[in-house]
Structure 1
Amino acid sequence: MLPTDRSEQTMKYLSLLAQQFPNQQAAFTEIINLQAILNLPKGTEHFMSDLHGEYEAFMHILNNCSGVVREHVDIIFEGELDGPAKDDLCTLIYYPREKIQLMREARQDSPTWYKTMLGQLITVARKLSSRYTRSKVRRAIPHDYAYIIDELLHTHPDENNYRVRYHERIIDSILETDSTEDFICSLAELIKRLAVDHIHLVGDIFDRGGGAAKIMDRLERCHAQRLDVQWGNHDILWMGAAAGEPACIVTVLRNNLRYGNYEILENDYGISLRALVAFADRTYRDGESISPLIKAINVLLFKLEGAIIRRHPEFDMEDRLLLDKIDLDAGTVEIDGRAWPLVTSDFPTVDPADPYALSDEEREIVDKLVSEFTGSDHLQRHMGMLYSHGSMYLVRNGNLLFHGCVPMNEDGTFSAMNCMGTWRSGRDYMDFCDSIARRAWRDRDRDSLDWLWYLWIGFKSPASGRLVKTFERAYIADKSTWREPMDPYFTLTEETGPCNTVLREFGIYPEGGHIINGHTPVKTLAGEQPVRADGKLLVIDGGFCTAYHPATGIAGYTLISSSRGMRIKAHEAFRSVEDAILRNVDIQSETTSFEPHDQRIMVSDTDTGDEIRAQISDLRQLLDAYRCGLIPEAGRSE
């Protein structure tokens, strides 16, 4: 049978495929392998959002896989281990080096303890590995002990138990050569990799907490195929800052100084604030509710933002131009025809004749900050990773992932935005936002950098979707001016109809499809729930950030999608790594299962299954081309 498509392009493609599978035997073997993969259970997906620099809480959720590790330990050792023994094993998986050090200090790290723990870890790893192909498991095994672990995972008793004794001897040798600690760490890492097949971060890794750089360092060690990020507005802010956009840079400084996170700027990214601090101290008055440093940053920010707004009338943000509405003699600012008292009248660098112009000193400070941010290798590497692993949205396995919203009108239609001369809405607008963000990183031209700032803060930005009142919150004590209207999307999608509209826009059948968002903390204390619109919308920003806990009542939601269905995890606040190690204190989580499946979801039911079937189709065409002599075979076995 000849290939159905014998075009020049198809034959070129098949010739390239033949380089990987040079004869019929190689193509046959791969088809058999791919067919087998289709019949394995779907891998577990782990969804997190709005980490906001909370490194320790993130690491614990990552280590315990939102409770998935404990679930497997409970099933595997049901009736065999009691609760405290399971706790010990789980803590060893989460924090292997720290747990071993604790046992060593307590003089409880006997050979018997090590051998017992090794046996239990191998049992867990063997059980989890049964859901994957052997080649995939091999890729997941940490490199240092890959051969030994691969051997131990495939113990099968033979007639004379030679294989079992061989593996027992491997364990004894590990104990004798003082490599036990490293080996246990490798097994623990493998278990965590096998427990969760893929990690989705639905935005906002940065700001508020001080550990975002450490989170990024940890994510760098994730295999590229196991991780994706949907950019949040705070991520985009840092992306803009790293690309050299001045308003984004000053906003990053303002956010982190307000939350006391000097370390991420100076220690993690090597960004010096000395020149800015010295300028603020000699220019602004001390002794008011706003420090000289924050005063200096505020004025820089509103000048820089004003310049962007005036360059881009299509952003429709003229109401945010407020420096020119200040009456310094009266100590007020006019907003919507009303004069509001200011908490300070200290604006020494604001020229009433041209309030948005930077002074010479301010320009020098801004130029130095741009050089600091664009010259930080650590920061540039982290932002490069956000671009390589990230996007504005992702469609995967019937789920639509994005951080904030798809801008909508009150009537449920998609809101249009003037995108550099072309009006766009819905998915088309989201695609433009993704493209312009990448152009800003690649070309760093003025227009695309301005757009990065808009994506951080604009009302019609899909990453923001609210009217941000930075000026009012900074300078006006009356909180009635602080209210920030939200895009209609956030109320409309409480109902199934608008959710179905959004899903269809992105090519997802509403039946069985889900929108997965972060961005807006779920206020559990006020009765809000993460599962909305009859399960169409899942909002998983439950408040990782410590500052949100009084409002949310919990410390974060995460989502697990496995071969058995989907479940939301509501987590209590993480105490400390010390508590987790010393007292085996895990994060307590409440699980809400929805849309459970009586039959397991297999790889064949997923997007990966579609990709595999396409690969099989290509290989079948290659086989036909070999059989018909259209492509010569190489290295054929006789």
Structure 2
Amino acid sequence: MQELERELLREKYPTKDAITTEIINLKAILNLPKSTEAFMSDIHGEFPAFDHVLRNASGNIKLKIEELFNGQMTPKTQQVFAFLVYYPTERLAIVKQQFSCPEDLHQWYLDTFDDLLKLLKYCATKYTRSKVRKALAPEFVYITEELLYGDFHTADKHEYYAQITDDIIQLHSADNFIISLCHTIQRLVVDHLHVVGDIYDRGPAPDKIMDRLMQHHSVDLQWGNHDILWLGGAAGSSLCVANLLRICARYDNLSIVEDSYGINLRHLSLLAEKYYDDNPGFRPKLTQPNEQPSEAELRQITKIHQAIAIIQFKLEGPVIDRRPEFKMQQRKLLDKISKDRKTITIDGKTYPLINGCFQTVDPNDPYKLLPEEQEVIDQLTAAFKNSEKLHKHMDFFMKKGSMYLTYNNNLLIHGCVPVDKKGNFEGLTLNGKLYKGKALFDLLERNLRESYIDPNQQDDLATDLLWYLWTGPVSPLFGKRVMATFERYFIADKATHVEEMNSYYSLRHEPWFIEEMLAEFGVDPKTGHVINGHTPVKKGQSPILAGGKMLVIDGGFSKAYQKTTGIGGYTLLYNSYGLQLVTHQPFTTREKAIADLADIVSTKRVVEQELARKTVAETDIGTELKKQVRQLMELLADE
């Protein structure tokens, strides 16, 4: 043990009794059951569905109610009780309307206190009293602990406990007490949350998801390819700004930029109005059926969509030219357009152009921005760099986020580990050095952090690598050889739309490949798992691959994907008993869920069951606690 560590421990535990007490405490914690982790991926701005899954703990709260109250509550009563735990404020308003007699409401409060305290005690069995106390609402800590750990069989205290519960009601604190108990139950049922990428794009409320995550008691984030665009925008990458605005326009989601992050799109709108007309190829995809734009709004979005797409394609040229190591010269397509703007020649083959909107493209200098375009993208990039709310969210993303995570013998990655057809790691060569496998992830993360720290540089390597993460041929977050955005807009021949997937996506079905991948990242190849997002699991496909060693949990939170997946998303739970994959049905609305008691959990599938219940000692936290015990034992030996 280092001398500095020893001195810090001596300050914290100055006496032999203090050291002994902490050793006893830590060794006892090591024997508690492993707490529950939850995994989510590819939420794509769908806040109501995300929020509901957090509240019901991927169906775990309902399961605990069934286990505890089976034979005491009917299934219908259990469902009503579950929704009180999920949405206490809203359900209290509904329940209270059902009572005309104050005495009946009083009795309902007493019964509900009793049921909630029983459920809380049941959910708290994995934890120390200290941890449970930290999860309680501060204003009700004393009351809750008295009722939670009280001996109700002692006749001398009957009146004591009765007075506490009566006063909670008489002093008009019953609702707040119930709400606090419900929130504590939600917090204890899932101890830690992993979000395996793509909070942003497509859905309307990624900002609300970020606000919710910032309030969460324990969370980590892996960056997804769509998240990178927003991190890149905050880091001053004009190309990331153009890409994310194009996607927002494509999915009728520009309000997130203006209303949520306060970024003014007026200059972009004026530019679009000046140069562009209505264009069927750029009409937005409407994924929110309850929010139908007017025809005038659709035309405006369509024009903005064209304007920012052309700016994006122009901005790509200089980056491709100054970064030959990216090997993306084939993605420069504006200079392949004919002078009359009717055809394009790619790899020696000529295609007619559709949905043409090349009014601002100079055939003699196709990647040069008009002065107006330059002014607009500069203004937008500055606005992204200076948005206070965006930076609050992106700062949190940087603090809690990473390119990958190894946690409790699982490897969490959003996209892929780029490989060739034989499973050899592919990489990116920079300054004469090849980065592949884990080293590639580490390189890209270092550069992302460097770019984020200094957002005033726009043409440095770190900033260019942000865009490469979005679309590069060996980007771990992209996972394809090319992104055929241009072809999908402007060429009818669907053969040009094909985006070849990295060989990772076929090899991840093979146990030997997953074992090699786990070993590369320092995870036990025989007992570890890869938890993966990014690619929606289509109808008829299994999310459990490679004999259970690879788990793909992108099941369609995004409404844009639900026709493909047929479900409303997957989540994964990992508790002391093992791994469970949870399938969710599509979420409708929060209001309908609360009114109709409509849950969205459909099935749970055991992926892997522990032969013996896993304890804290067998987790990463357990490893750290054992280290602390050894250090304290050394300190004790010195006494």
TM-score relative to the length of structure 1: 0.94
Q: Report how far residue 142 of structure 1 moved.
A: 2.4
Which residue is equivalent to 1:383?
A: 394
Structure 2 distance, partners of 1:330, 1:49, is 41
Q: Report what 1:636 is aligned to.
A: none
1:333 aligns with 2:328: no
| Cα drift, residue 150 of structure 1 | 2.4
* Residue 155 of structure 1: how far off its partner (Å): 1.7
Inter-partner Cα distance in structure 2 for 1:212 and 1:203:
12
Sort the Cα spacing of 1:14 and 1:547 in 2 relative to 1 into closer, same or farther, 3 A. Answer: same
**2:57 pairs with 1:43:** no
Aligned to 2:181: 187
Q: Distance in 2 between matches of 1:135 and 1:148?
A: 15
Indicate how the Cα distance of structure 1 residues 364 and 502 shifts in structure 2: closer, same or farther if over 3 A, else same. same
Q: Which amino acid aligns with 2:511?
A: T
Q: How far is 1:288 from its partner? A: 5.3
Q: 2:461 aligns with which of 417, 442, 447?
A: 447
Spell out the pairing of 1:410-429 with structure 2 (5 A cutoff).
410-429=421-440
SS of 2:193 mapped into structure 1: strand
8 A contact 2:249–2:304 mirrored in 1: no
Matches within 5 A, 1:555-574: 555-574=568-587
Render the CA deviation track for 1:429-464: whole Å, top value 9, x for unaligned: 111111111111112342211111111121211111
- Rate the CA distance shift 1:301–1:51 in 2: closer, same or farther, 3 A: same
Partner of 1:514: 529
Q: Does 1:263 align with 2:259?
A: no
2:96 paired with 1:101: no
Q: Which amino acid aligns with 1:150?
A: E
- Counterparts in 2 of 1:149 and 1:494: CA distance versus 1, 3 Å: same
Q: Which residue type is aligned with residue 76 of structure 2?
A: P
- Answering whether residue 549 of structure 2 is matched by residue 536 of structure 1, we say yes
Deviation at 1:351, TM superposition (A): 1.7
Q: 1:221: which partner in 2?
A: 215
Structure 2 counterpart SS, 1:595: strand
Q: In 1, distance between residues paired with 2:494 and 2:38?
A: 38
Moved more, 19-28 or 89-98: 19-28
SS at match of 1:472: helix
Are 1:571 and 1:588, in contact at CA under 8 Å, matched by a contact in 2?
yes
Would the aligned equivalents of 1:284 and 1:292 in 2 still touch at CA under 8 Å? yes
Q: Residue 476 of structure 1 corresponds to which residue in structure 2?
A: 491
Partner in structure 2 of residue 599 of structure 1: 612
Q: How many aligned positions are there?
A: 613
- Mapped partners of 1:228, 1:287: distance in 2: 42
Shift of 1:57: 0.5
Distance 2:352 2:89 in 1: 57
Q: Answer yes or no: is 1:547 the counterpart of 2:560.
A: yes
Using a 3 Å threshold, how does the CA distance of structure 1 residues 307 and 582 change in structure 2: closer, same or farther? same
Q: Aligned runs of 1:235-634 on 2, under 5 Å?
A: 235-286=227-278, 289-290=281-282, 291-329=302-340, 331-444=342-455, 445=457, 446-466=460-480, 467-523=482-538, 525=539, 527-625=540-638, 627=639
Identity %: 43
Distance (whole Å) between structure 2 residues aligned to residue 356 and residue 47 of structure 1: 43
CA distance, structure 1, for counterparts of residue 153 and residue 66 of structure 2:
29
Query: Cα distance 1:506–1:346, how it changes in 2: closer, same or farther (>3 A)?
Result: closer
Q: Which amino acid aligns with 2:119?
A: V
CA shift, 1:293, in A, is: 1.6
Structure-2 change in CA distance of 1:329 and 1:80 (3 Å): same
Deviation of the 1:602 alpha carbon: 0.6
Measured at CA, do residues 278 and 107 of structure 1 come closer, stay the same or move farther in structure 2, by a change above 3 Å? farther
Identify if the C-alpha distance between structure 1 residues 165 and 404 changes in structure 2 by more than 3 Å, giving closer, same or farther. farther
Residue aligning to 2:11: 19
Check 1:176–1:159 CA distance in 2 against 1; reply closer, same or farther (3 A cut).
Answer: closer
SS of equivalent to 2:126: coil
Deviation per residue, 1:281-311 (Å, 9 max, x gap): 1122345543322221111001112221112
CA distance in 1, matches of 2:430, 2:568: 38
In structure 1, list runs of 5 or more residues that go unmatched. 628-638
Give the drift of 1:43: 0.2
Matches of 2:170 and 2:130 in 1, distance apart? 30
